[in-house]
Structure 1
Amino acid sequence: LVYMWLVDRRVFHDWRLILKALLLLIIPLALYLLIPLRAPHTPYLELPLTQDRTLLLYENSLANFFRFVLGGPFGGSVDLSVDLGQRVAMAGGFLLNEIGWAGIILALAGVGCLAYARKWALLALLGLAYLASVAFNLVYTIGDIYVLFIPSYLLLILWMAIGAGCLVIPLLSRPTVAALLVVLFFTLPLWTAASQYPDADQSWNRQARTHWEAILAEPLPPDAVLVSNDRNDMMPMWYLQYVDEIRTDLLGLFPLITPEYPSLGHVLDLALSTGRPAYLIKEM
């Protein structure tokens, strides 16, 4: 909106154009309709606790649909009281690991070029999008927050490309030097991909499956309840149950499985109230 205001604010008086823009905004959101369409056919959304008690993970209603897509279940992860310095350091570490100092310097050069050329609208479009994305991630306290920084890296890559262009354009009168500089810039992503591929390649990683195969090989009584303090710990067991059909009698619980059970203590109370054998899968 800021970009449109800076480029041509007359757009805001063209209602037909605004309606078309809203339509283009709404169409991709139609993908959310997969949630209510798929919910009735998703077996793990209703977990049997006892013969007459069921834990409903998702209520397939219109009101709950809007609450879900608007982030209601995840609102508790937004914490405005975080140690901002620590979070900024974390974000900086992620950034440095992704593009290195060379990429950061090149991105800053791109920002400087836009400012020098007085491309305020483009600078606002990219800059505000970057700041909004990073600012939200700084106060969103989920474990795998590094994934949500990916959009900000895409914006940085655009700045890097602009910075590279600003450095090459003055050298166009010397084609050989300009070509060598362009090739040098292209080695940056190639070097990053080559150096980080071993960390990104997880094709060998069977740790989660091996861990759960060992747990399920224990003499667990039928219909036991297994409890963890982390949802991610429990997902491999769900995979083994619903895909490989291994120990489908077991029940896995974790905090925030529904909003009514926000902590490990609440989950333990729920597990014990079922009358089924209850086990912790690790020290907590």
Structure 2
Amino acid sequence: EISEEAGNEKYLLLIAYLVGLAIGVHLLNILTLPMIFMIIYYKRFEINATSFFLLVLVGGAITGFVYEMVVLIPEAIEIFDFGGLLVILLISLMILGFAIRNGHKVLSIALTCILLITVGYSSYMMIYIRSGLDPNIDENDPETVEAFISYLKREQYGEHHLSRTKQWKDSPNGNNYSSAFEFFWKYQVYEMYVRYFLWNFGGIEDTQDFSRERKRADPWQLWWLPLIIGMLGISHHFQRDWKHGLAIFALFFMTGLAIIIYLNQPDPQPRERDYSYVGSFFAFAIWVGIGASAILEWLTRTLREKQPQMANSLPWLAALLIFFATPMRMLALNYHEHDRTGNFVARDYSRNMLISSDEGGIMFTNGDNDTFPLWYLQEVEEFRTDVRVANLSLLNTSWYIEQLKNKEPKVPISFSDQEIDNLIYPVPWAQEKTIEVTAIDPAMRKLEAERYRLNLEQ
């Protein structure tokens, strides 16, 4: 509504800055950019196949550039040092000043947006500065530019690939699926997205434990109302304003199925991943709101035509009914799971674990969930700081082994830091060798099949 007003460009600049800030919180916020581009496109350009193709091409390039900027700036610092980066910044500001003085509006807005995005996600520098102070908990140890780049690229988690066939064959539970497409559809799409979507809008509680046993609660606990109202909202939105409907759909798709396609998750996952798709659920919630508004609008219009005396009161009653039947029912059904009052299980259990250790002992933990409560007790409550917690999941990284060796309470490791760095990475043999490996014992194979629910007939 304000795109024709004088000075409307300031809203684009505000969006750029907010996107930069949001990227500093989580990189997934980049996925809001396609929706923003579509809104600008509908307002400023003639809609046809050629212009839409250019939108996809240019929008994709800008989104990719913004994503890469997070790593490009530290890499520029590594190559040119801070002095060289300052020169690049000054040159950019000179170009920006030239564009503003000579009326190059698009160029000046584009450069200012890049600058504001950079300022926004400069909050990443907090990680670099904090690590340089050597805190007790210093994951990835990103205190050098090189280590900081490795942290941003998530190199410790290994390489990421998009091959569906390779992921299907490499997955421990891959034998449960007859093809890469079945793996994609049944596991990656349904198990890892649709199931979570139905949690939120259908009311189906369908959880799984590590043995892949499922327990299903009452499928009618939300009466499917959020899903039904949301579908009505989609229909109403596209009928009234298909352009903005497509923009919201872009947000819904990019923060949902697009993430599924990109992540290419193996089966199984160590934990439920519903939190990865919150943006998609937010987008659908917009349609739920539009659907509720459409119902009230239809009811008001119908009553004015047929029962004018009820046109003022009945819609309010309908609004209250929708309010109590959907959001309030969701609150009533889920409050007990979100109420942490008096829930000290993690703290008390971890405290008992630390108490059980001898003075100056080493306590090995397996992963995040059984490590972080111990760290909390030691760092915040300063309880049993003499015990060294050693996380087995991190022991394949050189920075963590060096922290165990060098930080109090120290673990007696005789290797030097250089030797630790060399041991972490594979050492090739001097010459190629052929190794004979004894076949897996049939009894062990049967036990493994039972453990992972493998289909040995495939």
**If the TM-score is normalised by the length of the shorter chain, which range does it land in?**
0.7 to 0.9
Distance, in Å, in 2 between the alignment partners of 1:178 and 1:126 is 27
Query: 2:186 aligned with 1:63, yes or no?
Result: no
Query: 2:44 aligned with 1:8, yes or no?
Result: yes
Q: Count how many residue pairs are aligned between Structure 1 and Structure 2.
A: 256
- Mean Cα displacement is larger for which, 236-245 or 77-86? 77-86
Secondary structure in 1 matching 2:255? helix
Q: What's 1:254 paired with?
A: 391
Distance, in Å, in 2 between the alignment partners of 1:185 and 1:175 is 17
8 Å CA contact retained: 2:129, 2:143: no
- The alpha-carbon distance between structure 1 residues 168 and 26, as it changes in their structure 2 partners (threshold 3 A), is farther
1:191 pairs, out of 309, 314, 329, with 329
- The alpha-carbon distance between structure 1 residues 77 and 208, as it changes in their structure 2 partners (threshold 3 A), is farther
- The alpha-carbon distance between structure 1 residues 235 and 15, as it changes in their structure 2 partners (threshold 3 A), is same
8 Å CA contact retained: 1:77, 1:142: no
- Mean Cα displacement is larger for which, 34-43 or 160-169? 34-43
Distance, in Å, in 2 between the alignment partners of 1:78 and 1:256 is 22
Query: 2:220 aligned with 1:98, yes or no?
Result: no
Distance, in Å, in 1 between the alignment partners of 2:140 and 2:317 is 57
Secondary structure in 1 matching 2:286? helix
Distance, in Å, in 1 between the alignment partners of 2:151 and 2:343 is 32
Question: 1:233: how far off?
Answer: 0.8
Q: What's 2:277 paired with?
A: 149
Secondary structure in 2 matching 1:246? coil
Q: What's 1:28 paired with?
A: 120
Identity %: 18
1:18 pairs, out of 107, 110, 114, with 110
Secondary structure in 1 matching 2:313? helix
- The alpha-carbon distance between structure 1 residues 194 and 212, as it changes in their structure 2 partners (threshold 3 A), is same
Distance, in Å, in 1 between the alignment partners of 2:328 and 2:158 is 39
Distance, in Å, in 2 between the alignment partners of 1:168 and 1:20 is 43
Q: Which has the higher contact order (CA 8 A, sep 6+)?
A: 1
- The alpha-carbon distance between structure 1 residues 258 and 127, as it changes in their structure 2 partners (threshold 3 A), is farther
Q: What's 1:112 paired with?
A: 235
Q: What's 1:49 paired with?
A: none
1:117-132 equivalences under 5 Å are 117-120=240-243, 122-132=244-254
8 Å CA contact retained: 2:142, 2:151: no
Q: What's 1:51 paired with?
A: none
- The alpha-carbon distance between structure 1 residues 129 and 273, as it changes in their structure 2 partners (threshold 3 A), is farther
Query: 2:353 aligned with 1:215, yes or no?
Result: yes
8 Å CA contact retained: 1:223, 1:249: yes
Distance, in Å, in 2 between the alignment partners of 1:169 and 1:179 is 11
- The alpha-carbon distance between structure 1 residues 28 and 62, as it changes in their structure 2 partners (threshold 3 A), is same
Secondary structure in 2 matching 1:226? strand
Q: What's 1:280 paired with?
A: none
Question: 1:151: how far off?
Answer: 2.1
TM-score, length of structure 2 as denominator length: 0.49
8 Å CA contact retained: 1:168, 1:178: yes
Distance, in Å, in 1 between the alignment partners of 2:116 and 2:395 is 34
Q: What's 1:52 paired with?
A: none
Q: Deviations over 1:227-247 (max 9, x none)?
A: 232222111111111112222
- The alpha-carbon distance between structure 1 residues 7 and 257, as it changes in their structure 2 partners (threshold 3 A), is farther
Q: Which runs of 5+ in 2 are unaligned?
A: 1-33, 47-54, 59-104, 169-182, 203-223, 305-310, 399-403, 405-410, 415-458
Question: 1:78: how far off?
Answer: 7.8
Distance, in Å, in 1 between the alignment partners of 2:362 and 2:285 is 47
AA partner of residue 195 (structure 1): L
AA partner of residue 397 (structure 2): E
1:171 pairs, out of 293, 299, 302, with 299
1:205 pairs, out of 343, 359, 368, with 343
8 Å CA contact retained: 1:45, 1:57: no
Q: Which runs of 5+ in 1 are unaligned?
A: 47-55, 262-266, 276-284
Secondary structure in 2 matching 1:249? coil
Q: What's 2:365 paired with?
A: 228
8 Å CA contact retained: 1:45, 1:58: no
Q: Deviations over 1:153-207 (max 9, x none)?
A: 2111111111122222233333333222222222221221122111111122211
- The alpha-carbon distance between structure 1 residues 222 and 204, as it changes in their structure 2 partners (threshold 3 A), is same
AA partner of residue 145 (structure 1): R
Q: Deviations over 1:119-178 (max 9, x none)?
A: 23x223221222222232574546252222322221111111111222222333333332
2:413 pairs, out of 261, 271, 274, with 274
AA partner of residue 342 (structure 2): W
